[in-house]
Structure 1
């Protein structure tokens, strides 16, 4: 079976559990293929956690959920050195924390203090953690999928800009359409019926499981997706416009305080190639870049007080940039 066919089956399996959020499912798959970390933001009850659990359920790997709270300690997620008594006297052994998994759900990530965020930052960027002077590597398949509530600010800590930049994409999740919400009601009712029906439990088929080798094979194919110099320049121009908006528009310049880093250009390239591969193409087109530009850039732009006073969002500014930067 072709690698892309299996990835499409994974997408379909997740979509069957998450109705009306096709874009979110697609971004989860892109993040998986691009080997990046994702920040998913939305109001309570919009299936942020459910979407991540659905992804992990259909991948042959270890899943771990960490509920972030204000009293969380770094050792609660990384693990710690524990003294064990032995016949020869005793020794310290490292007990791994929940961070040692293939897919890590960092639920309500902005509720943890700075020390915890620092411990998570090393794992996200370096794929390793350091405890008591010893470095411990993460698994080859490792990604952090974090959730965040945009309205409830009681007991929360704003994520540092350096950590925000480590997220490949910042995905926004919105309310489903009315028709989709009817389907959600029916889906949940069916799940409750299956749980209460013992005979159904015995005949319930196991969910499909995608082997990790399939993901690594897909990443290798994506690495070979062609990006012509004009496309690479277009990505760089979009990012550069966030740093020098005065070259394009005076009003745009008054809306941006800090532009995106070169990590944004790298992320655009990774995500555009992954999206092109999912579409069955062997090269990147401008529409691939535009499709994922908002998710890649929205958390990397710092809005000015003037923009905030006007009620503008990062997406509004990205729309303006896309309209101003010339296509190749």
Structure 2
């Protein structure tokens, strides 16, 4: 298979970013998003951490809590290419990845890129598309490339899929297969705002849509520099061992019939690096892994029938594993 230069997997050379620049950029993005998402700082920080960890985010919650608005606000805050895909039962895989079209003038086939050729792809109500269309994202999300008619087209950096879905309504939906869920770095639920945040939302959103006034605060070059800094965050051997222990514990838990994959452990560490950078550290702590265990691992595992009958959620099971698993006494401070 040959590569075609629709996107580029070769990252442009950009100057390194220092800690203060990183802090300023993250603060600007979070503040900008919070202009439209009230009282959800932790969720916004996690969403940005997933982007900087070069991962993908699944936003799963009931209707009306701001799932799509969070995805759109994140995309709007960064001056890069953004495409939105409204997943519907009649959406075709070629609408996502692209299609080869015969050119009458040249008598050759030319590739017409699909909606996935963007830095940030917002997939709205992803579980409403057929499994065939959902599977079109598998290669894109894992390998950051698209293969059509035997040719491979690389995707640009940064690349992130932010998908939303409603876990309550099952009519006319197709549950995401495990292979698809495992490609999402983290799953978040926004939840209802508290009374003060909801009152502020009524004031801000009552007369106009604040999304109309939202403007980018950083560009794609800045995001690539931020990703470079996150990659440089140190992970001690003891932290890696703790991450492996967490993932292994999910495979041995009596309440789970399917544990977390090796990919889960890798993405847990990547996201932990981003969280550490957010906190101004150049090394990862066990606390980072513990805080991320539920959003990164819970959507990848499957509980047993007995656990489901007992109404034990995978979130609760993962939280219990984190609580019971001992942490190495070094606490990850043997930085070098």
Do these two structures clear the TM 0.5 threshold for a shared fold by scoring above it?
yes
**1:150 matched residue in structure 2:** 167
Pair 1:223–1:90, CA change in 2 (3 A): same
| Residue 3 of structure 1: how far off its partner (Å) | 2.7
| Residue 267 of structure 1: how far off its partner (Å) | 1.1
**2:219 matched residue in structure 1:** 211
Q: Which residue of 184, 189, 192 corresponds with 1:167?
A: 184
Distance 2:301 2:110 in 1: 43
Aligned length in residues: 309
| Residue 20 of structure 1: how far off its partner (Å) | 1.8
SS in 2 for 1:158: coil
Q: Is the 8 A contact 1:4 1:218 kept in 2?
A: no
Distance 1:193 1:113 in 2: 33
**2:272 matched residue in structure 1:** 272
| Residue 100 of structure 1: how far off its partner (Å) | 0.8
Pair 1:257–1:100, CA change in 2 (3 A): same
Query: Cα deviations across residues 48-87 of structure 1 (Å, max 9, x unaligned)?
Result: 110111111111111111111111111111121112221x
Q: Is the 8 A contact 2:59 2:163 kept in 1?
A: yes
| Residue 115 of structure 1: how far off its partner (Å) | 1.5
For structure 1, the residue ranges without an aligned partner over 5 or more in a row are 196-203, 246-252
Q: Is the 8 A contact 1:85 1:91 kept in 2?
A: yes
Confirm whether residue 309 of structure 1 aligns to residue 316 of structure 2: no
Q: Which residue of 154, 172, 195 corresponds with 1:178?
A: 195
Query: Cα deviations across residues 205-241 of structure 1 (Å, max 9, x unaligned)?
Result: x724312121111121112212111111111111110
Query: Cα deviations across residues 100-155 of structure 1 (Å, max 9, x unaligned)?
Result: 11110111111111211221111111111111121111112111101010111011
For structure 2, the residue ranges without an aligned partner over 5 or more in a row are 1-19, 329-336
**1:244 matched residue in structure 2:** 252
Distance 1:144 1:168 in 2: 10
Q: In terms of Rg, which structure is larger?
A: 1
Q: Which residue of 21, 25, 33 corresponds with 1:2?
A: 21
Confirm whether residue 40 of structure 1 aligns to residue 59 of structure 2: yes
Distance 2:26 2:58 in 1: 21
Considering fraction of residues, name the structure with more helix: 1
SS in 1 for 2:156: coil
When normalised by structure 2's length, the TM-score is 0.88
**2:93 matched residue in structure 1:** 74
Q: Is the 8 A contact 1:111 1:156 kept in 2?
A: yes
- Return structure 1 stretches of 4+ with deviation > 4 angstroms: 192-195
Q: Is the 8 A contact 2:73 2:211 kept in 1?
A: no
**1:128 matched residue in structure 2:** 145
Q: Is the 8 A contact 2:58 2:164 kept in 1?
A: yes
Q: Which residue of 238, 250, 253 corresponds with 1:230?
A: 238
